[in-house]
Structure 1
Amino acid sequence: MKVIYILCLLSLNNILIAQVPKEKYQFSKDINAAIEKDTLAWKYQLGATEYATSGYYHEALTTWDKNGGGFKKLTVEDSLFIKKFNPKNAKEYIIERSKAEQIIIINEAHHNARHRVFTASLLKGLYENGYRFFGLEALSDTLINDRKFPTIKSGYYVKEPQMANLIREALEIGFTLFEYEATDGKNGKEREIEQAENIKKIIDENPNSKFLIHCGYDHVIEGMPKIKRWEKAMAGKLKELTNKNPFSIDQVIYSEKSDLKFTNPVIELVNNTSSVVLIDEKGSLFNGLSNAEQVDCQIIHPITKYYNNRPDWLSLSKESKKYSIPKSKIKEYPVLALAYKDNEYEHEGIPVDIVEILNKEEIPKLMLPAGKYQILIKNKMYEIVSIYTLTIK
């Protein structure tokens, strides 16, 4: 993992917010043009986030990987070690394990929407097992529990549709959401401490409750983080402050990259079609090849398959129906099609899904759970050329 990538994650929030373009959801060509003109050293991180925000999953991976990187080949010893473990469905394992836990911490890569969809797939089962509080690093919205849906002002990363869907689903199920990010200007050790202190306050106020925490990258680490000046990451600091041992889950290390040359070879070795954890005969979880135990559990996500240019995991959390925009609604190409929950667009809501339609031959399908929607069609100048309501049953 490159140092430049780690450093930029620590201090980019204010920069990112300042650079949010007028159009929150953009055509791929416009995102690419902005990246090409950008002179910042971390332009590919910024660009990957913009691609993710507008629903371009593979483009987000590709842009992030322009930073370089990759993984060493597995040694014979590594392969033999991994073969001692058997795959088990990750969702099923975590939900069953959650019965004996009080605090679960799960991370994401901010440019990888798949991680948000997977966390969303856990919500119903966790709620049934007693979890009531859901903390999100990305959230900055004191009114979210009253409003019942996120807006474009709810946090920089929240405007990405799958993050917004994660929040919507949690609210619909009955979770109480809370923010815990450190105050502006806090980075490194101070940020990790303040995040942990903010979470501890909620735990102290609700000592008999169960908590799900969704964070970014290395904040999930209980052991020694890669960034030594942190001393302890948020998860490790929370464990110290509360004297409670969280169940820490990493989604980042064993997730696909844009190309196999960047992808961790463990994913190919396991070669599963669903997200799994690995367990040995003694019931111990695979948590990496290094000697340092940084997290309790590492999820191995499979390589994405695409259907009509849409990732196969989009319906993992909530059953969705595929919906094609009628050609009669499109007068020119290209267009962006954005699907908003009824009554959310007028209140600065966030789309449930977005697709870019480049020509009449290939119209990717929106993925929409049951409900009533407003469909907006925007032309290349970002003008709304069509708007209509739709009910998915």
Structure 2
Amino acid sequence: MILLIPVAFCTNALAENFSYMHSLKSAEKSIGDLDIFSRLENLSPDKVESLYESKGNDIQKLMTMRSLTGDSTGAAEAFRWRYFLSKSKPSIAQENQETLESVTAENALEAIVAKAKMHQIVILNEAHQEPIHRVFAAKVARELKKIGFNYLAGETFRPNIPQKPGYVDTSMGFYLREPMFGEFIRNAIKDKWNFVGYDVYPEGPNIADLAREREFGAAQNIIRQIFSKDPNAKVFIYVGYGHARKEPAYTDEKTYASLAAVLQHRLGVEPLTINQSDMFSHGDKETDNPVYRKVLERFPSSNPIVLKKTEGEYAVLSGRPGYDMEVFHPDGTMLSETGRPIWMQKAAGLYALAIPSELLPKDRRRLIQAFHVEDGPNAVPADMVMVEVGRPPKALMLPAGKFRLTYEE
């Protein structure tokens, strides 16, 4: 299939409020010389511990900025560094091995939608560095809208996000500056979701207090902005990591409970909670959760799946209680002839566009960006890719549409 994408050229960089290159360079400067990360296996245990303490947060920042600038492969590489330094490799518990022998696989999207029909609130999480999770979230959102869900609340949304934004721009939230997240929100705007920002960031010296106050404050904001006005609202909440867990259950305001647990207690409504932050590929079988690899071997699939137990409930094999379902993504980290991961074609349905020669850098590197022509100032790019002198340029990966191209350097 040949897709013709009309392109308007624009050589000035988007720079008004947020510069992707500036933020990436800042993360690269903080982490310093990357050479040491190619020699991690040769470091002494003391050096590994010291490196994790001194550079763990910097690796996280680099991982995030690589993801935001369209480099999911580079983000996965940074994840592997942090994973190795943290020495947190999981194993397959005996009960998980026994469960694996009796479960059946179901299409994750279909199973989630079927379960969602029995719930007023659906909470799906992500790993913040993984664009593929936003691709799946967009598909979930589209199907939930069809069955009556009308509020989309997101951890990343700024508190005063417009309920009906005209287009997705970089001021709406940090993580949605990533192209796949931007496309998720762009489609949600077209589907006429009501957007709700709820997150809070309390200040103080006690980390445990701050974590607890954040969950309680977030739940309070969701209740105030949605359920106090519309008690029968059907809400899709998109979060990072453990905010979606219903365990530990809420006991009192002095004890930690996640957003999901607090909402369940205060509303008397049990949310459907789904984990997709564990069972996916990091581009290295040694880094992937061993349960994940076992499941892929037993249930090869080109689509995300969930595992159903014989008694009808769904299996959660990550060792993290409090989720109703756990999504296993197919491994799409391998690169295609475009130089980009194959999930961009297979899961996201994107098409390759070669970068025009007049946009290629004359020296060093350049971040090439593609914007939907209908989007306004400070829009989130539909895609972006780093091009470096002396290396074959990777392709832009885009949906059908008309785009303007620009760059930052």
Q: Structure 1 residue 50: deviation in Å?
A: 1.0
Find the counterpart in structure 2 of residue 283 from structure 1.
312
**Alignment of 1:200 onto 2:223:** yes
Query: 1:281 and 1:138, CA in 2 relative to 1: closer, same or farther beyond 3 A?
Result: same
Report whether the alignment pairs 1:88 with 2:106: yes
Aligned equivalent of 2:372? 341
Write the deviation string for residues 136-183 of structure 1: whole angstroms up to 9, x where unpaired.
010016353444222222222222222222211111111111001024
Residues 197 and 27 (structure 1), Cα distance of their counterparts in 2 relative to 1, 3 Å cut:
closer
1:164-203 correspondence to structure 2 within 5 Å: 164-185=182-203, 187-201=210-224, 202-203=226-227
Matches of 1:91 and 1:136 in 2, distance apart? 19
Preserved contact between residue 180 and residue 198 of structure 1 (Cα < 8 Å) = yes
Contact 1:25 1:53 in 2 (8 A): no
Partners of 2:316 and 2:237 in 1: CA distance:
19
Contact 2:279 / 2:292 at 8 angstroms: preserved in 1?
Answer: yes
Tell me the alpha carbon deviations over residues 77-110 of structure 1, each in whole angstroms, 9 at most, x when there is no partner: 5323212111111112112222222100011111
Kindly tell me: are residues 320 and 62 of structure 1, through their superposed partners in 2, closer, same or farther at Cα, counting changes over 3 Å? Answer: closer
Q: Which amino acid aligns with 1:278?
A: L
Q: Does 1:162 align with 2:186?
A: no
State the distance in 2 between where 1:260 and 1:318 align: 23
- Return the offset for 1:71: 2.9
Once the 2 structures are TM-superposed, how far is the Cα of residue 316 of structure 1 from its aligned partner? 6.3
Counterpart-to-counterpart distance in 2, 1:75 and 1:244: 32
Q: Residues 335, 183 of structure 1: CA spacing in aligned structure 2 closer, same or farther, 3 A cutoff?
A: closer
Count of residues paired in the alignment: 355
119-128 or 77-86: bigger deviation: 77-86
Unmatched 5+ stretches in structure 2 = 1-16, 35-53, 205-209
Structure 1 residue 332: Cα displacement = 2.5
Give structure 1 stretches of 5+ with no counterpart: 1-20, 383-393
Q: Which has the higher relative contact order, 1 or 2, with Cα contacts under 8 A spaced 6 or more apart?
A: 2
Distance in 2, Cα, partners of 1:156 & 1:360: 32
Task: Flag the 1:326–1:89 CA change in 2: closer, same or farther, 3 A.
Answer: same
TM-score, scaled relative to structure 1: 0.82
TM-score if structure 2 supplies the norm length?
A: 0.79
Contact kept in structure 2, 1:70 and 1:263, CA below 8 Å: no
1:160 and 1:182 mapped to 2: Cα distance? 21
* Percent of aligned positions that are identical: 23
Q: CA deviation at 1:44?
A: 1.0
Find the aligned partners of 1:248 and 1:25 in 2 and give their Cα distance: 36
* Residue number in structure 2 paired with 1:219: 243
Residue in structure 2 matched with residue 297 of structure 1 by the alignment: 325
| SS of residue in 2 equivalent to 1:131 | coil
Query: How far has the Cα of 1:222 moved from its partner?
Result: 0.2
The one-letter code of the counterpart of 2:321 is E
Q: CA deviation at 1:329?
A: 4.2
Q: SS at the partner of 1:198? A: helix
